[in-house]
Amino acid sequence: MSGSLRIPPGTREDPLPAVPRERRSPAWAEPDPVDELAERLGEFIGAAVHPDEIAALLESDGMSDDRIRERYGVRNSFALAEELYERVDRHYPEPAQPAHDPWQLGLLGCLLRGVVFALPGLGYVLGAPLLAGPRDGPGLPAGTVPLLVGALCGWTWNQGLAHRAYSWLGLGDRRAAHRALLLGAPVGVLLGSLAAFAVAPAHPGTVAFAAGQSCYLGAATILLVTGRERALLAALLPMTAGTALAVLHPIPVWARAALLLGSLTTVALTAAVEVCQPVRRLRTSAKRDKGGKGGKAPRRTGREGAEGAKKPHAAPRLTDTLPYALFGLGTGVLVLYAGLGDALTGNARSAVAAPAAVALTLSMGPAEWLLHRLRSAGLAGLRTSSTPEGFRRTAALTLGRCLTGYLGALLALTAATAALWPHAPAITGVRLAGLLLLGVVLWTGLLLQSFGAVLSAAVVCTVAALAQTAALAAHLADPHRLGPVVYGAAAATLVVLVARLIGRATAHR
């Protein structure tokens, strides 16, 4: 079969006299209407990934099957779409503008939030003389227990409150978000104050300090949710300056109390104005709409009319808020144990404001920026990856880089706070390992929360907090060695959950 074809004798071996030419249409013939349509819709047809897209376009242009049969000689729009799809080469043009990335965030703003998170700790330094008295618990300074109980209550409540307000903002209902903050923040203040009073009813001064702490937590939540970090920072400046002065030169107790009350009052009033004015303005607008002539609402145009025409949204479910509150409680307990490690072993030095807790608080600024970087890189990976395996590999590398960057920032902050903190305990390998593992827990938990997988993060952190509490209560292990074990188990679990989640393309929608 591979040999040459045998030619019978007498057959001419001359080649064809000429190469056959393509048959041309006569000059009087009309051009092919399908070719004309393909040329007119060439850009759209070339970018289509399936003939059904072209069929949908044809039907949207009003082409009926009868007209298609008469004009193009095919039975219906789907047959014409298949013919057009075959005649035009595929080309997928890049978008004229880069795709919108909602996860772009400036580093300076994130660092500012980290500083705002840490500055309230100076209030405990400034108000230390106001908490004079017998020590609490296992060598803790006076007033520590009610303050910790009030702080845990505030963290739990305000995490849930912030989620509820953000849910309303996500639905486009700013009035409901401000109303939730206006009603929820005072309830959180009351709960925190009652919790502090329940554990220290015989110390009214400590309870009053704890009530001020709860008031600050509620007001700060309002300002952070509404994006007023700069206003919160400005309100804390008097207290910050007073603390720096108190470290350099002793100041009387009344001056310390005045500085604390001044900053607290400024924060509370700023938060009240932030939520009360929009709610009052919207209520006035609603009353004006109902009071038109003849009982008819005045006609509104433009943006005002569009906002007034919005239908009310269904309220976010309270069950969706509970995991966020549990996440705040679990992480709060873990951070407090990291800060109280010295006191739990009988050493009261740096028990309340440990350098570890300060470093963790400051690191929340870089943590937020790196979290946004990972989410932004996930969207970029969706555009550049051509296979699921390639996308998973890109996501894993991005996770490793961001997590390493956060641990590097936490390590630098830990070294800086330990060097500046008076009489700070030495940074041992066990203490440093526990702190870094706790940082992994916090960052991966926040990452899962940003993907909406807060329930798994809340369960892991709550179980870790319960396990550490039970082990400490039963004296099962040394607190310094128990921490890294608990934090390591929680960190490993959360890293596995994060790695599986970010490897799915649908999770980045």
pLDDT digits (tens, 9 = 90+) for 257-310: 999 999 999 999 999 999 887 666 656 655 555 554 444 444 444 444 444 445
Instruction: Give the model's confidence band at 32: pLDDT under 50 very low, under 70 low, under 90 confident, else very high.
Output: confident
pLDDT digit string (tens) for 441-464?
999 999 999 998 999 999 999 999
Alpha-carbon gap, residue 491 to 494, rounded angstroms: 5
3-state helix, strand, coil in the chain (%, to 5): 70, 0, 25
Q: Token pair of 356, please?
A: 């570890």
pLDDT digit string (tens) for 168-198?
998 888 889 999 999 999 999 999 999 999 9
HSE on the CB side for 114, CA within 13 Å? 22
Whose tokens are 């303050």? That residue is 147
Judge whether 365 and 113 are in contact, CB under 8 Å.
Answer: yes
pLDDT exceeds cutoff 70 at 5: no
pLDDT exceeds cutoff 60 at 18: no
Alpha-carbon gap, residue 371 to 457, rounded angstroms: 15
pLDDT at residue 19, as a whole number = 46
Least confident of 81-85, 242-246, 475-479: 475-479
Q: What is the number of residues in the chain?
A: 509
Judge whether 382 and 113 are in contact, CB under 8 Å.
Answer: no
Whose tokens are 């003939």? That residue is 51
Instruction: Give the model's confidence band at 156: pLDDT under 50 very low, under 70 low, under 90 confident, else very high.
Output: very high
pLDDT at residue 21, as a whole number = 47
Whose tokens are 């009214």? That residue is 204
Alpha-carbon gap, residue 501 to 495, rounded angstroms: 10
Alpha-carbon gap, residue 353 to 271, rounded angstroms: 26
281, with CB counted inside 10 A (0-12, 13-18, 19+), is exposed
Alpha-carbon gap, residue 100 to 235, rounded angstroms: 35
Closest CA to 345 of 479, 435, 487: 479
pLDDT exceeds cutoff 80 at 509: no
pLDDT at residue 502, as a whole number = 92
Judge whether 135 and 141 are in contact, CB under 8 Å.
Answer: yes
Closest CA to 145 of 100, 91, 202, 99: 202
Chain-centre distance for alpha carbon 178? 20
Q: Comparing 24 with 495, which gets the higher pLDDT?
A: 495
pLDDT exceeds cutoff 80 at 204: yes
Judge whether 497 and 508 are in contact, CB under 8 Å.
Answer: no
Q: Token pair of 172, please?
A: 């486009």
Q: Token pair of 416, please?
A: 């800086």
Instruction: Give the model's confidence band at 152: pLDDT under 50 very low, under 70 low, under 90 confident, else very high.
Output: very high
pLDDT digit string (tens) for 207-230?
999 999 999 999 999 999 998 989
Q: Token pair of 246, please?
A: 């108190």
Average per-residue pLDDT for the chain: 82
Q: Which residues pair with 136 in a beta bridge?
A: 140
Instruction: Give the model's confidence band at 68: pLDDT under 50 very low, under 70 low, under 90 confident, else very high.
Output: confident
This prediction has a pTM of 0.76
* Secondary structure of 18-62 as H, E, C letters: CCCCCCCCCCCCCCCHHHHHHHHCHHHHHHCCCHHHHHHHHHHCC
Percent of the chain scoring above 70 in pLDDT: 80
Instruction: Give the model's confidence band at 481: pLDDT under 50 very low, under 70 low, under 90 confident, else very high.
Output: confident
Helix (H, G, I), strand (E, B) or coil at 402: helix
Judge whether 331 and 458 are in contact, CB under 8 Å.
Answer: no
Diameter of the chain measured on Cα atoms: 128
pLDDT exceeds cutoff 50 at 2: no
**Residues 416-429, mean pLDDT to the nearest whole number:** 78
Judge whether 381 and 352 are in contact, CB under 8 Å.
Answer: no
Alpha-carbon gap, residue 461 to 449, rounded angstroms: 12
pLDDT at residue 4, as a whole number = 42
pLDDT digit string (tens) for 131-144?
766 666 656 666 78
pLDDT digit string (tens) for 304-342?
444 444 555 677 788 899 999 999 999 999 998 887 766
Closest CA to 195 of 145, 268, 260, 131: 145
Helix (H, G, I), strand (E, B) or coil at 2: coil
Judge whether 388 and 506 are in contact, CB under 8 Å.
Answer: no
